[in-house]
Amino acid sequence: MKPAFTIGLDYGTNSVRAVVVDCADGSELGTQVFDYPSGEQGVLLDPRDPHLARQSPGDYLEGLSASVRSALAEAEAKPGFSRRRVIGIGVDTTGSTPIPVDARNRPLALDPKWKDDLAAQAWLWKDHTAADEAAAITAAARQHAPQYLAPIGGIYSSEWFWSKLWRCLKVAPDVFDAAASWVELADFVPAQLAGVESPREILRCICAAGHKAMYSEVWGGLPAEEFLSRLDARLARLRGRLYDKAYPPDRPAGLLGRAWAETLGLEEGIPIAMGGFDAHYGAVGAGVRTGTLVKIIGTSTCDCAIVSAADRIEDIPGICGIVNGSIMPGYYGIEAGQSAVGDILRWWVEGVCEGREASHDELSAAAARLKPGQSGLVALDWNNGNRTILVDPRLTGLILGQTLHTSRAEVYRALIEATAFGARAIIERLAEFGVPVERVVCCGGIAEKNDVFMQIYADVLGHPMRIAGSPQAPALGAAISAAVAAGEAAGGHDSFEAAQERMTSLKAKRFVPDAAAKKVYDELYGIYRELHDAFGAVSGARSDLGSLMKRLLAIRDRATAH
Amino acid sequence: MKPAFTIGLDYGTNSVRAVVVDCADGSELGTQVFDYPSGEQGVLLDPRDPHLARQSPGDYLEGLSASVRSALAEAEAKPGFSRRRVIGIGVDTTGSTPIPVDARNRPLALDPKWKDDLAAQAWLWKDHTAADEAAAITAAARQHAPQYLAPIGGIYSSEWFWSKLWRCLKVAPDVFDAAASWVELADFVPAQLAGVESPREILRCICAAGHKAMYSEVWGGLPAEEFLSRLDARLARLRGRLYDKAYPPDRPAGLLGRAWAETLGLEEGIPIAMGGFDAHYGAVGAGVRTGTLVKIIGTSTCDCAIVSAADRIEDIPGICGIVNGSIMPGYYGIEAGQSAVGDILRWWVEGVCEGREASHDELSAAAARLKPGQSGLVALDWNNGNRTILVDPRLTGLILGQTLHTSRAEVYRALIEATAFGARAIIERLAEFGVPVERVVCCGGIAEKNDVFMQIYADVLGHPMRIAGSPQAPALGAAISAAVAAGEAAGGHDSFEAAQERMTSLKAKRFVPDAAAKKVYDELYGIYRELHDAFGAVSGARSDLGSLMKRLLAIRDRATAH
C-alpha cells in the first residue's frame, strides 16, 4: 500500500495550526502555528464594551496559506513524504463563530467599505454582546417552541448563531442588510478551499447547525419562519438565504479548487472533509467511542461522548447538546462542559495569590502532599456559572470549611476537587440517561502536566484517566476526517472507527482510582451534591438557598451601577 | 480637694502593664509594660501538645514589682504627683487562669519540688488540654443540673476552671493532691498585695466565679458536692478548700500589706480593689453603661454590656455569661464574643495572601474603595467556630459569591463584613432579650487604626461606633476600681458611675451609619442570616445543611489520623 498523508487544520481562538499526518499511524510529519495578526492576540476588541470579541476573516485566509505551506515544508524534509500523496484536508474551528458574507461568498470584512466595521467581522464564539437577544430567544422558545430547547439543554446562549445575527440586526442593520448570508467558520474554511462561490452552495456541517442554530431534521431544518418572525421579521426573511440541510462528517464538503491547490502546492481535486468544531474533532482525535468520555480541559472544559444512533436516546436535562452525527456519523454526538476549570485554578493562583506561572507547580506539589479530606474544605466550581447540568450562568463560587490554619495549597486542592465533583455530576447525569462512561480520555495542557489534578479526577470519578496520545487532538481529528473523506486512498479508512483505530493512541501514563481515596471522595461528593442542589435550586432540594447567589448578584449589579 | 492617684495593673497574655492614673480625670502619669520572661513570649508550651499553655506564677510577681516601680518613677517626674497620694491599687487579669497554691497561699510552682512541672504552673486561659473534661462536664450538667449551664450559654468550656482542675487531677494527680487550693489569677494578685496567707481567707471575685466556675447565689455558691462527685470524688472533696462566697467589685479585696508596700514604695494599708477579668475592667474603662456595648476587638472579640440588677433579666440563649455584679456592682454583667475577628483578617492577609504587616494597610485601602455589595460576596465568620450566639466550636468558615475576577481585597472586605454581621447577630439577640444597645464603644488596635473596619461596623450595626479614649482601657478600669475602693479619698468616687464620669472619655473621631450603605447591608445581613441559620443548624431552618460542617470536620479528622 502506498503511503498517504492528510492535513488537519485547527482554527483556535488566537491562532491556526496545520499538521501533516501519516494516515498509516497518525504520526505528525510537519506542524506549524500561525498567530492571527489582528487585534489583541488575534481578537478584535471594543474598549467601550468588554463583552465584544470579533475576528478578522482575512486572518483566517492568511493563516491557512501560511500554516499549511510551512507544515508541508517541514514534512518534505522527512523520508517517504511526498506532496503528491497528500490526499485530503480536514478543518476544525471554534464556534459558534458566524461570518457575514456577500453573494459571492466573500466576507464583507474583505470589502474596503466594511473593513473597519466590527459588526462585519467574524463574531467569535466568546463574544457576549448578545445576552439580551439570547434571553429573548430562550423566552420565546419556552413559550412557543419548547422542542427547540430540549436538545440544547433548555437555554439558548449569547454565544450562539441566532443571538449574534439578531444582535447585528439591531446594532448594525446596514451590515445585516448587506450580508447575503452568514457562514459558520467551520463551514467557511472548507468552502473557501473548495472554491464554493455562492453561500447557498456551501455544504453546512450538522455540528454547528445542530448545536448552535437549533437545526434538526425532526422539525425540518432551521427554526420555522413563523418562530423567527416572533423575534424579528428580517430574521425570518434571512432564513431562506441560509441553508435547508446540514450534513454529518461522512461526506466531503467539496474538492480542493485550483486556486488554493496552487497556493498550497497540493493536487487539485483532493477531498475537503466536512468542517466541525474543535471539541468534536478533538474527541475524534482522542479516540472517542462508546463508553469513552473525552474531556478537553483548558480554561473551561468540553466533554464529548457518542452513542450509537441505533439507540435512540432521550433528551438529557441540563446537557447542552445532543445531535445526530455531530461528532461521528452513525452516532449521537453529546456535548457537555464546565464553564471554568483551568480558569478557576488560574484565578486562585494568579488572581488571588498573585503567583506566577511557577506558582502553579509549587501549589500542585503542595496539594499532592495532602490527603483526600484532610483540608476539611469543600468548594463549588461555579466561579463562571454552571454550564452543565444546571445550565445557569448566574451562579457563583463557594468555599466552605476554612479554619484559621487553612492554607492556599489546601484551597487550591479543594478547587481541583470541586471541578472533579462537577465532572462527576455530568458523568452521573449521562449514565442516568443511558450514556455509559467507563473510561475518560483527556486532552490539554493541564492533563499532560498536572499529575495531582489527574489523580484527583481518577479518585473522584472512579474511572481510569488516560491522556490522548497526540497533544494536537483537534488537528489530528480533522486529519482523520480527511482520511475518511479520501476513503480507499487513505489505506482503507472507510469509516471513522477504522481510521481512529490506526491513527489515534493514548499516552502510556494512566491514573487509576485508589480505593481508599475513592471512598473518602464518595463522601465528599455527597456533601458537594448537597451544596450543589441547595444553591443550584435543584427541584426537591429542601432549602431556601436556591435564590441566594442570584440575590447577591442583583445586589452587586445595583452597587456597580450607582 | 487634694490630688489623688490610683494604680491599675493589667495582666495580659504576654505581659503585665502598670499605669498610674489621676483620679480627677483619668489621665495617665506613668505607665510601664513588663514582658513575662519565661517560655515563648511568656507562655510555657509543650512541644508534644499544641493545646497546652501555662504560665510561670513567678513572672506575675516579678512583673508586679518591676512594672509598678517603673510606672511610679515615671509619674514622679510629673508636677503635682506624690507617692503618698497613691490611694489604691486595682488589678485585672486574663481568665480563667487558675493557679494551684499551698496552704500558705504560695504557688506550688515556687517550690523547687514543682518548679519544672507544667501542671503546677498557672493554667493560662487559652490552655485547651481539657477538651474531654469540658465535654464531660457539659454532658453531666445537661443531664443532672441544667441550671448550671443556663447563665453560661449552655456549654462548659475547656478554657474554664473546673475543666482545668479535673484535667490536672487526671494527668498530674500528685500536683492535684499537693494543692491546698486553686486561685484564679484575678484573685491571686490582689491577695498577694494584701498579704493574705491562707487560701480560705482570699476574697474571690464574682467575675471569675460566676463566669467560669458555675458559681451562683441562686444555688448557694459553687456546684454542689453531689454534682462534682459525679465527675470525680476528689473534685467534690476539693470544693470545701475553695470558697463559699464570691464578691462583686464594690468592696476591696484587702489592704496593701507591709511587704509589698515596702517593695513598691507605697503607703501600707491603702485599699486593693477586687480583681476582675481584663474584658470586664476594660468595659469599665471604656465607659460601659446601660445602652452602651463595649467591644474589645483583638484576635477575637469580647463584648460586654450591663443591665440594672433591678431589671431581672432572663437567661439569654447563646450568650456565654450573665452574672450579677461581675462588671459593676448593681448590674448584671453580660459577656458575649466572637471567637475570631482580627485572627480572620490575619489568616487572610498573612496566611493565605502571604502578606506582611503593611499588607493589612494596603488591603484596607483597597477595601475602602469598594462599595457595600459591590463584590457580590458574603462570608461566615466561623473560621474559629462560633462563640456567640451558636456556641459551637465545630463550625467553620464559608465564602460565597466568587467569580473569576474576585480580588483579595474583595475577600478581605467580605471577611470584615462577616465579622460585623456576627456582631450584629449578638446585638440583635441581646435586644430580643431586653438588653438595649444604642451605642458601641470599641477598644483595641483594630478600632484605633482601621477606619474602613469601623465604618463597615457602623453601617452594618446601624449604631454610631466610638473608640475608648484610653488605649489602655482595662488598666484604666482597674484604676477606676481602686478609686471606688478608696471612696472619699479619691475625691468622692463613691460609685463606679461617678468614677467613670470623671475618669473615662471617648476619642473625638466617630463613625456614623451611612443610610444608603445601611440599606444594602440590611439586605446582605438577611443573606448572612440565611446561611448562619442553615449551616448553624438553628432550629426551624428549613435545610439539611446544619450538620455539613461537622461532617467535613469528621472526614478531616479521620484523614489526619491515618
For residue range A212-241, list pLDDT tens digits in order: 999 999 999 999 999 999 999 999 999 999
Which residues are within 8 A (CB) of A54 and not within 5 positions of it... i.e. 6 or more apart? A39, A43, A44, A118, A121, A122, A123, A124, A127
Contacts of B375 in chain A (CB under 8 A): 556
How far does chain B reach from its first CA to its final CA, in angstroms? Answer: 72
> Would you call A347 an interface residue with chain B, using a CB distance cutoff of 8 Å?
yes
Reduced to 3 states (helix: H, G, I; strand: E, B; else coil), residue A95 is: coil
Q: Which of residues 51-70 of B touch A (CB under 8 A)?
A: none
- Render pLDDT for B168-212 as a digit per residue (tens, 0 to 9): 999 999 999 999 999 999 999 999 999 999 999 999 999 999 999
List helix spans (H) across B462-495: 473-486
pLDDT of residue B311: 85
> Would you call B549 an interface residue with chain A, using a CB distance cutoff of 8 Å?
yes
- ipTM above 0.85 for this complex: yes
**Residue of B552, B553, B557, B558 to mutate when probing chain A, most A C-beta within 10 A:** B552
Reduced to 3 states (helix: H, G, I; strand: E, B; else coil), residue B420 is: helix
Q: What is the 3-state secondary structure (H, E, C) of B201-259?
A: HCCEEHHHHHHHCCCEHHHCECCCHHHHHHHCHHHHHHHCCCCCCEECCCCCCEECCHH
- Render pLDDT for B27-60 as a digit per residue (tens, 0 to 9): 999 999 999 999 999 999 998 888 899 999 999 9
Residue in A with minimal Cα distance to B516: A559
* Nearest CA-CA distance, residue B174 and chain A, Å: 36
Extract the C-alpha cell encoding A240: 431562506
**Cα B160 to the center of its chain, rounded Å:** 12
**Residue of B353, B370, B400 to mutate when probing chain A, most A C-beta within 10 A:** B400
Q: What are the residues facing B398 on neighbouring strands?
A: A400, B380
B473 within 8 A of B282, measured Cβ to Cβ: yes
Q: Is the pLDDT of residue B273 over 70?
A: yes
pLDDT of residue B543: 64
Q: Is the pLDDT of residue A543 over 70?
A: no
- Render pLDDT for B457-482 as a digit per residue (tens, 0 to 9): 999 999 999 999 999 999 999 999 99
What average pLDDT is seen over chain A? 94
Extract the C-alpha cell encoding A338: 464546565
Q: Which helix (H) or strand (E) holds A552?
A: helix A548-561
CB contact under 8 A, A400 and B401: no
Query: What band does A1 get if pLDDT is binned at 50, 70 and 90?
Result: low
Chains A and B form CB pairs within 8 A to the count of: 182
Rounded average pLDDT over B526-534: 94
**Facing A552 at nearest CB: one of B343, B372, B376:** B376
Q: Is the pLDDT of residue A349 over 70?
A: yes
The DSSP code sequence of B124-179 is -TT--TTHHHHHHHHHHHHHH-GGGTGGGTT---TTSHHHHHHHHHHH-HHHHHH-
CB contact under 8 A, A397 and B402: yes
- Render pLDDT for A419-462 as a digit per residue (tens, 0 to 9): 999 999 999 999 999 899 999 999 998 999 999 999 999 999 99
Q: What are the residues facing B331 on neighbouring strands?
A: B308
- Render pLDDT for B305-339 as a digit per residue (tens, 0 to 9): 999 998 877 788 888 778 899 999 999 999 999 99
| B543 against B428, higher pLDDT | B428
**Facing B534 at nearest CB: one of A405, A543, A551:** A543
pLDDT of residue A560: 80
Which residues are within 8 A (CB) of A240 and not within 5 positions of it... i.e. 6 or more apart? none
CB contact under 8 A, B400 and A398: yes
pLDDT of residue A168: 98
Give the separation between CA A127 and CA A161, rounded to whole angstroms.
11
> Would you call A538 an interface residue with chain B, using a CB distance cutoff of 8 Å?
no
Give the separation between CA B353 and CA B58, rounded to whole angstroms.
40
C-alpha triplet A410, A411, A412: angle, nearest 5°: 90
Q: Is the pLDDT of residue A209 over 90?
A: yes
How many alpha carbons fall within 13 Å on the CB side of residue A420?
A: 30
CB contact under 8 A, B397 and A400: yes
Single-letter amino acid code for the residue at A307: V
Contacts of B520 in chain A (CB under 8 A): 555, 559
**Facing A404 at nearest CB: one of B340, B407, B553:** B340
Give the separation between CA A499 and CA A287, rounded to whole angstroms.
10
Contacts of B374 in chain A (CB under 8 A): 556, 559-560
Single-letter amino acid code for the residue at B420: A
Question: What is the edge-to-edge ordering of all strands in the sheet holding A291-297?
Answer: A321-324, A331-338, A301-308, A291-297, A437-443, A465-467
Give the separation between CA A296 and CA A301, rounded to whole angstroms.
6
- Render pLDDT for B370-400 as a digit per residue (tens, 0 to 9): 999 999 999 999 999 998 899 888 899 999 9
Q: Is the pLDDT of residue A402 over 80?
A: yes
Single-letter amino acid code for the residue at B132: D
**Residue of A552, A553, A560 to mutate when probing chain B, most B C-beta within 10 A:** A552
> Would you call B543 an interface residue with chain A, using a CB distance cutoff of 8 Å?
yes
Q: What are the residues facing A386 on neighbouring strands?
A: A392
Q: Is the pLDDT of residue B488 over 80?
A: no
Give the separation between CA B36 and CA B13, rounded to whole angstroms.
9
pLDDT of residue A493: 79
What is chain B's length? 562
> Would you call B392 an interface residue with chain A, using a CB distance cutoff of 8 Å?
no
